[in-house]
């Protein structure tokens, strides 16, 4: 067992981080996992921003308000909402819950919409 003085005099470098109790390979694994999670979060935020842009463009094209879409109106919006749900989940990779939040319906409503689209 090395003493404190002997450990301080050693020249080999070991990866360490003040926020993590441990060193070496353990710290490397934790830092890598944290970076991966951060990249995943960044990708999700980017997808959500893109989803908002797609919804706004589609609402302008159809001459409906995005607020009306989010409030769950049943006017002539049903077809637009179904098409948007299909695009957001299959093309953009949004979760059913995120798509439901943006379109003003329940998660099960999005699931049923996707199931109907697969039947056709």
pLDDT band, very low/low/confident/very high, at 4 (cuts 50, 70, 90): low
- The whole-angstrom separation of Cα 26 and Cα 81 is 47
**Residue 11 reports pLDDT greater than 70:** no
**Alpha-carbon span 84 to 46, nearest angstrom:** 17
Task: State pTM to two decimals.
Answer: 0.62
Contact 68, 105 (CB under 8 A): no
For the CA atoms of 42, 44, 46, 51, the dihedral, rounded to the nearest 10 degrees, stands at -170
Tokens of 116: 């109907």
* Beta strand extents in the chain (DSSP E only): none
**% of the chain residues with pLDDT over 90:** 35
Q: Using one digit for the tens of pLDDT, what is the confidence trace for 52-109?
A: 999 999 989 988 888 888 886 666 788 889 999 999 999 998 999 999 999 989 999 9
- Indicate whether 14 pLDDT > 60: no
Residue 35: pLDDT band by 50, 70, 90 thresholds?
confident
Are the beta carbons of 86 and 117 closer than 8 angstroms? yes
């Amino acid at each position: 067992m090395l003493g404190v003085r002997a450990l301080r005099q050693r020249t080999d470098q070991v990866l360490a981080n003040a926020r993590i109790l441990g060193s070496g390979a353990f710290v490397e694994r934790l830092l890598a996992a944290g970076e991966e999670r951060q990249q995943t979060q960044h990708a999700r935020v980017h997808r959500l921003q893109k989803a908002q842009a797609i919804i706004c463009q589609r609402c302008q094209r159809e001459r409906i308000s995005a607020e009306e879409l989010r409030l769950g109106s049943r006017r002539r919006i049903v077809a637009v909402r179904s098409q948007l749900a299909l695009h957001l989940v299959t093309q953009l990779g949004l979760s059913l819950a995120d798509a439901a939040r943006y379109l003003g319906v329940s998660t099960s409503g999005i699931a049923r919409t996707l199931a109907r689209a697969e039947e056709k």
